[in-house]
């Protein structure tokens, strides 16, 4: 498995190394994941990857590009697939987080964000 991975790698070496490390890490931490299932819940993914800049659905860098429903609608990204794509690939000056999102993490995250936006980011 490792050999084919190395073989098909068409991206830069440091990036490839990083991805390989992440793969190893996720393999090692897989059994733990089964016990603590919520490590890949929308909320924990958001806290881990997005909250630094989007705390409570805001945007600390570009105020107008926040995750409130009015902004998402204005920018035509009020659907899970569009948000998932931004999470993976980034947008404008925001980097993508593809390397940190596994399996369906992008969509789990996007659905959670949309759900929060619809609730105006008010926690119960």
Binding site for ligand HEC (CB under 6 A): 49-50, 52-54, 59, 61-62, 65-67, 71-72, 75, 77, 83, 86-87, 91-94, 97, 109, 113
Which H helix or E strand runs over 91? Answer: strand 90-91
Query: To the nearest whole angstrom, how small is the minimum distance from the Cβ of residue 7 to ligand HEC?
Result: 30
Query: To the nearest whole angstrom, how small is the minimum distance from the Cβ of residue 78 to ligand HEC?
Result: 9
CA angle, 66 then 71 then 75, to 5°: 110
Closer residue to ligand HEC (CB): 9 or 19: 19
Q: What is the largest CA-CA distance in the chain?
A: 49
Tell me the residue nearest to ligand HEC as measured from the CB. Answer: 92
> Which residues lie closer than 8 Å to 102 by C-beta, 6 or more apart?
26, 40
Closer residue to ligand HEC (CB): 9 or 49: 49
Q: What is the phi/psi pair of residue 5, to 5°? A: -60, -50
Q: What is the phi/psi pair of residue 94, to 5°? A: -90, 130
Closer residue to ligand HEC (CB): 30 or 93: 93
Closer residue to ligand HEC (CB): 9 or 98: 98
Q: Any idea of the CA torsion for 30, 96, 105, 25, to the nearest 10 degrees?
A: 0
Query: To the nearest whole angstrom, how small is the minimum distance from the Cβ of residue 31 to ligand HEC?
Result: 25
Query: To the nearest whole angstrom, how small is the minimum distance from the Cβ of residue 23 to ligand HEC?
Result: 19
């Amino acid at each position: 498995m490792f050999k084919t991975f190395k073989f098909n790698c068409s991206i830069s070496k440091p990036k490839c190394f990083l991805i390989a490390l992440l793969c190893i890490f996720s393999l090692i931490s897989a059994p733990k994941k089964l016990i603590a299932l919520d490590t890949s819940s929308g909320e924990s993914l958001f806290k881990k990857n997005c909250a630094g800049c989007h705390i409570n659905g805001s945007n600390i860098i570009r105020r107008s590009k926040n995750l409130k429903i009015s902004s998402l609608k204005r920018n035509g990204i009020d659907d899970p697939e569009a948000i998932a794509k931004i999470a993976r690939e980034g947008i404008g000056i925001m980097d993508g987080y593809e390397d940190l999102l596994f399996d369906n993490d992008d969509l789990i995250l996007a659905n959670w964000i949309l759900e929060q936006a619809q609730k105006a980011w008010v926690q119960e």
